[in-house]
Each structure stands twice: as C-alpha cells, then as structure tokens.
Amino acid sequence: MKKLFFLLIIVSFFYTESIGQGCVAIRSTGGFCTASMNHPKVSPWVVGINNRYFKSYKHFVGTEEQKERVEKGTEVINHSYTLDILVTRNINARWSFTFDLPVISNARSSLYEHDGKSRYSTHSFGLGDVRVTGYGWIIDPSKMPKGNLQVGLGLKFPTGDYRYQDFFVKSDSIKVLGPVDQSIQLGDGGTGFTTELNGFYNFTRELSVYGNFFYLFNPREQNGVPVTLGGRIPQHLDSIAGNIVTSVTDVYSIRAGASFSFNKLSFSLGIREEGVPVYDLVGGSQGVRRPGYNLSVEPGIVYNLKKISFYGYVPVIVSRGTKQNVPDKFKSGYTGTYTISQGGFANYLVFIGISFRL
C-alpha cells in the first residue's frame, strides 16, 4: 500500500499548463502521479524536482494538420521548459499537503508576429503560478492495503507574470515591445482552485493499476492582456466577437494505466488526455483562448533507492485537435462561414525527475 501512497502523491499536474501542448496553453498545474515506490514507512517530508520539456511545431485546425506550414517554413515553434519544485508534508499515512513552485523558461519563434519575412524569437522566464494542495485518503490506508481513493483540493495563485513582454522585430531598425503570446506567458492571471481524484488497485506485489483525474477551475473570465502581438491591430470582426483580450481558462487532465515493479525498478504504461475546455465550469468563457486536447500513450520508468527515487516519462501524442472557442462560434454565426482557431502541438513530452524522502 505504501508503494502506491508514494505513487500518487510524490509528484503532484499541467499542466499543467502544460497543452495540446504548444499554442494550446495547457499549463503545468497538473501532475503525473505515476512514481512507484516501496518503503517501510511514510516519510515526514518528500521533496521532488521535476523537469518538463516539449517542442511544439505542428499546426492543427480541428483534427486536420496543416502540413504545409512546416513545408513552407511558416510554422510557429514553441520550446517550453518547466522546473517544478514540490515539497510534500505527510501529516500521517492518510493526510498530506503539497506545495508546488514552478520556474518556467519559454521561447517562441515565428514569422507572422514579426516582419513576416524572417524568423525571430520572443522569450519568457520566471516564476509560474504557485499551487498548494491538501490530500486525504477516503479510507484509512491500514484498512485498504490493496486499493484506495485519494481526494485532493488545492488553490492556484496568480504568481506568474501573465503580462510578460518582449520585443517584436518589425524591420531592421524597428522593434516593438508588447505582451508575448498566451502560450508562453508565465501565468494566466487567475486565482483558481483544483480538484484531484487518485486511485489504485494492487493485483499482486508486482502488478497494479492507477487512475488520476485533475481539474483546474479558473473563475476569472479575462485577465485584461490584449492580444496585440507586437502592435498588430485586431481585425474588426475580432473586436466585435470579443477576440482581443486573453481568456483565463480551465485546464483538465485524465490518466489511467498499469504499473509493474521488479526489485528497484518499476515500469508503467498508460494513457493521458489533457486539454483546455471551450467553456469554463465556473465563470465566463469569453476572450482569446485556444481550446483543444491531446491524447497520449505514456510509458514510464522509476528507479528506487533507500531515500532517493529517479523517474522518467515520455508521453507520445497519438491524437490531438483544436475546438471552436466562443468568439469562433460568434464569427461562424455572424458570417455564415464555419470558423475555428488553429493550435500548435508537440509530438511528445519529456518528464524527468528525482524525489528525496527526508
């Protein structure tokens, strides 16, 4: 049982924020609770250092890929790296609290945001949105050694700079300072609350299954940041559709799979879906958002020592797509032509980390 206790709480996600991944801004607020560990007792403190990276460059409209963007060299390329420092305080075998501090480094290169002829980059670096979460097992773990459910409730604070600015190159002699694209902003500007449900069942000492559901509620509708991208004037239709100010979106992730442990090694294989919904469950949904999803096959490996565990996961995206946002729906009705925003996606993500039991 204690093996799965650590499986579900040591690494608490984005994202996340984190994303499809790319222009669809799924941030690193959700975890990937798949570390499998076997220790005789619950440590009072657990410190995790998780590294998350992806490169997005493929463009989709709905589920249709715009392959010509890559062929012509007009694709937008995002590089996103997040260092998550997670500190877990185990009150006892049933209750715990986790503090998540993300440090983010992003780069985005494109033609259309600059002079339209040459590729230039904008960047962002700094603290992301901090999250604090309390966890509790529904049933006393000592009474449920083979399986259990854990509930998590948390708060996400708007500590990340959601107005981050960089220079956009308009010509050899002109640069314009403006907000970077929402996909590489360090935060979303909203105070949110999170819900999690983690479950497991041990068939044997070696074989177990797991599941995880994460949802970030962001009641704030828009954060006031105009989508000008270096001084570009929004089209009239975007203005009347409300497609000019960044939306503060909900984020979700769903995971399920199986884990096999052998001595100090543990292997897992599962599926992972994460995305940004069209409509928030609490609050309004107006503004610029790129709703979408990606579905991944997620292999993982963990190596356990007495006080330290190393882990790595590489979710490989097998299905992805964008959806109509609220302004898209307005435009479709206003013009009589179906409109849907595009989004950028990665082929895979990389999670590598280490945890210390103190």
Asked if residue 251 lies in contact with residue 274, where contact means CB atoms within 8 angstroms, the answer is: yes
Task: Specify the pLDDT at position 6.
Answer: 44
2-357 topology per CATH: Porin (2.40.160)
Q: pLDDT per residue over 236-286, tens digit each?
A: 888 888 888 999 999 999 999 999 998 899 999 999 999 999 999 999 999
Enter the tokens of residue 144: 């449920």
pLDDT (average), residues 133-140: 94
Residues in contact with 203: Cβ distance below 8 Å, sequence separation at least 6, in sequence order = 209
- Note the pTM of the prediction, 2 decimals: 0.89
- Identify the pLDDT of residue 145: 82
Tokens 């220079």 correspond to 167
Find, among 249, 266, 323, 310, the residue nearest to 15 by Cα. 249
Question: pLDDT tens, 301-310?
Answer: 999 998 999 9
pLDDT for 322 equals 95
Greatest CA span in the chain, whole angstroms?
A: 70
Tell me the per-residue pLDDT of 138-165, one tens digit each, with 9 for 90 and over: 998 888 888 999 999 999 999 999 999 9
Phi, psi of 215 (to 5 degrees): -140, 130
Task: Decide: helix, strand or coil at residue 341.
Answer: coil
SS3 for 208? strand
2 phi, psi to nearest 5 deg: -65, -30
182: nearest Cα among 343, 7, 3: 343
Q: Report the pLDDT value the prediction gives residue 265, as an integer from 0 to 100.
A: 93
What confidence score (pLDDT) does residue 276 get?
95
CA angle (105, 21, 66) in 5-degree steps: 120
| pLDDT tens-digit series, residues 310-350 | 999 999 999 999 999 999 999 999 999 999 988 999 999 99
Res 41: pLDDT? 57
Chain segment 1-52, per-residue pLDDT in tens: 444 444 443 343 333 333 335 555 455 443 444 333 334 457 899 999 999 9
Q: What is the pLDDT of residues 209-221, one digit of tens each?
A: 999 999 999 999 9
Amino acid at 86: L
Please state, in angstroms and as integers, the Cα–Cα distance from residue 172 to each residue in 42, 107, 260, following that order: 60, 21, 57
The C-alpha atoms of residue 67 and residue 71 are separated, in whole angstroms, by 7
Q: Quick one: average pLDDT of 91-120?
A: 94
Of the chain, the percentage scoring pLDDT greater than 90 comes to 77
DSSP 135: E
Give pLDDT, residue 228.
74
- Give, rounded to a whole angstrom, the gap between the first and last alpha carbons of the chain: 19
Which residues contact residue 202 at a Cβ distance below 8 angstroms, ignoring those fewer than 6 apart? 1, 3, 4, 145, 146, 147, 208
Contact 247, 290 (CB under 8 A): no
Residues contacting residue 333 through CB under 8 Å, at least 6 positions apart: none
206: amino acid identity, one letter = E
